[in-house]
Amino acid sequence: MNVAAVQLPAENAPEENRDRAVERVRDAAERGADLAVLPEMWPVGYFAFDAYDDAAEPVPGSTTDRLAALADELSIHLHGGSLVERDGDDLYNTSVLFDPNGELLATYRKIHLFGYDSEEATRLTPGDEICAVETDLGTLGLTTCYDLRFPTLYRELVDAGVEILLVTSAWPRERLDHWHLFTRTRAVENQSLLVAANLTGSIDGVDLGGESVVVDPWGVERANAGTDARTVLAEVALDEVRETRESFPALADRQL
């Protein structure tokens, strides 16, 4: 299968961002993508915290309806990145996954909200459930940005049967070394494929890192988007996960 990480610029321009995301996902599908992954909070650019309240919408809502129609049109699995979800009086950082018929397969409310040099933890409500979902591509696990720093979350996903880890992110450029460390480590220690889509560019004084990646179960980066707004594809196979786990049974050897 072909997987795509769609790297978008960080801009607080929701309508333009929606048009851009649709265009880029359509291009990924034309290039053969079976699964496309969008970045974190791409409609508002993540660090535009003052825009969260106005940008918030229910799920399903206008943005997810458009993504659902796109997945159906292109007949691909689409991880729609994340957006500001409004549910009653609470706001969440919520990511969404659609199947090739446009059905909303899963939502994931980010568990670990970022508080360092960020207002996310004060403006949003954390989620409290992991998200593992069976699909025709394999069992997928949804995670978001700061989650990468919490290995127990990923181990819970693997224990739930996950074979492909998906990460939607707005990772800053100043900690880009950590981005590569954690994406590779989470793939290796869980013997899983990992697809991570990051924002790029700058917003509200913060430079985003870009370098969206596809990582195999041995920690090899099979694709890297660099720092420009672009989409990268990589051909991977679910058998890579199963063969790695069988030939080097680190997961089976766990004692704790």
In a domain, 255, yes or no: no
Give catalytic status of residue 120 as yes or no.
no
CATH of the domain at 145: 3.60.110.10
Q: How far is CA 225 from CA 5, 7, 126, 198, 252, in A?
A: 8, 7, 29, 9, 33
Helix axes 62-74, 14-30, angle to 10 degrees: 10
Choosing from 85, 120, 131, 145, which is the catalytic residue? 145
In a domain, 253, yes or no: no
* The pLDDT of residue 246: 97
In a domain, 143, yes or no: yes
In a domain, 88, yes or no: yes
Domain encompassing residue 67 = 2-247
Give catalytic status of residue 246 as yes or no.
no
Helix (H, G, I), strand (E, B) or coil at 102: coil
Give catalytic status of residue 110 as yes or no.
yes
In a domain, 256, yes or no: no
Choosing from 40, 57, 120, 163, which is the catalytic residue? 40
pLDDT per residue rounded down to tens, the chain (256 residues): 999 999 999 999 999 999 999 999 999 999 999 999 999 999 999 999 999 999 999 999 999 999 999 999 999 999 999 999 999 999 999 999 999 999 999 999 999 999 998 999 999 999 999 999 999 999 999 999 999 999 999 999 999 999 999 999 999 999 999 999 999 999 999 999 999 999 999 999 999 999 999 999 999 999 999 999 999 999 999 999 999 999 999 999 999 8
In a domain, 139, yes or no: yes
pTM above the 0.95 mark? Answer: yes
- State the total domains in the chain: 1
CA distance 242 to 87: 39
In a domain, 252, yes or no: no
* The pLDDT of residue 256: 82
Choosing from 11, 57, 85, 110, which is the catalytic residue? 110
In a domain, 254, yes or no: no
Return the closest-CA partner of residue 110 out of 74, 140, 136, 84: 84
Q: How far is CA 111 from CA 35, 87, 146, in A?
A: 24, 16, 9
